[in-house]
Every structure is written in structure tokens, then in C-alpha cells.
Amino acid sequence: MNKKEQIINLYKQNPGIHSFKELMSAGAYPAMVKKLVQDNVLEDVTKGFYRLVGQEESEFSDMETIAAILPEGIFCLFSALNFYNIGTQKSFDYHLAIPYGKRPPERKEFSIHTYRFSEKSYNSAIESYGCIKVYSIAKTVADCFKFRNQIGMDVALEALKDVINNKRATISDILDQADVCRVKKVMMPYLESCS
């Protein structure tokens, strides 16, 4: 198998976006990557990240790109609501959780809002879908209440009602995450009215 076939095989085994570093690990070299882009084998998605030309883009291809370039970011709030198709609120921006002490990413290709989470909250209830990391549905609801002043109480209430009415998470799971996010007291009256 030649080097070009090795790179194509990498994309067949792991579809999506791969970094320049990953391509180098798979046997590519800088001039080869440039040639593969010129020959329309690879597409330069964003600086240092490539996709196989003709590869079917997923519904969440922008999220995959962001996940590849910002691996420490975890999709939260509006991005998580949109990912799970909860409620009616849509955002064309991307919302990412980052740990305290990390600098917010500066990427001009995407409009990204970052929220700093404590270590416990940042590491709680992460789900992975390929390269995309997103908080669980229960954690997303709790986060909406935690950040209700930034995103709006109406968003938090709609998310809670949608999740409870459609049995997307249990009240117990939501309470566990409300405890992690330190919003249990705030959420209790709303949870009681939903049950």
C-alpha cells in the first residue's frame, strides 16, 4: 500500500476531519498533503484540518470540525439542545464548555461562545458521538438553569418541559446533574410542577 492509499484508508476507517498531525502519523508528509489538496483528493476544511473529497458530510459536520480543532471543548447549552433536537430555540453560534483557566478559542471560521465550567461540572455527563463531545440531556437541562441569565429562563423552562414530557431523561438524572451544577434549589419548584 502506497502512502496515498494509506491516507485514503485512514479516512475510510475513520471518516470525518483529520488534522495535519494525524496525517503525518499515518505516513503523509507536508508536500504530499499539499499535492493531495491540489489533486482534489483532500479538502482543506480549515487551517491544518482536512476531509476526504466526496466524503459524505454528516448533519453535524461543523460540530465535527470544531471538535477536531478544539478537542477540549464540550458542546453545551444551545449547541446541545440543537444536537438532541430539544425545544424550539435555535442558535447559529456554537456553544462550548471549557474548564476554568483555559483561554477561549479564537477561530474566525465559526462564531463560538464559551462558558467556563468548574472541574466537577466540566467533567460530568459527557457523551461522545464520534469526535463530538456533548453533555447528556440531563446535564444540558441543568446547564440551561445554571446559565439562565445568559440564555434566558424561557429556554431553560422549555428544555425542561420538553425533556420531561418526552421522557428523554429521568427526574432523578436531572436532579443529579442539578446537584453537580449547584442549581438544585432553583430547579426544584419547576421539577415539582412538571411531575
Residue 14 to residue 186: CA distance in whole angstroms: 43
Average pLDDT, the chain: 86
CB of 35 closer than 8 Å to CB of 95: no
Q: How much is the pLDDT for 28?
A: 80
* Residue (of 186, 156, 182) closest to 78 by Cα position: 156
Q: How far is C-alpha 66 from the geometric centre of its chain's CA atoms?
A: 8
Beta bridge partners of 150: none
Same domain, 71 and 102: yes
Mean pLDDT of 176-183: 94
Mean pLDDT of 155-182: 94
Same domain, 37 and 73: no
Q: What residue numbers bound the domain in which 104 lies? A: 61-194
What does the pLDDT look like over 125-164, one tens digit per residue? 999 987 789 999 999 999 999 999 999 999 999 999 999 9
Same domain, 71 and 47: no
Q: How much is the pLDDT for 162?
A: 94
Same domain, 169 and 94: yes
Same domain, 101 and 163: yes
Same domain, 125 and 34: no
Same domain, 46 and 66: no
Q: Which of 52, 71, 90 is the last residue of a domain?
A: 52
Same domain, 90 and 37: no
Distances from the Cα of 192 to the Cαs of 115, 156, 177, 187, in angstroms? 28, 15, 16, 9
The residue among 14 and 173 whose pLDDT is bigger is: 173
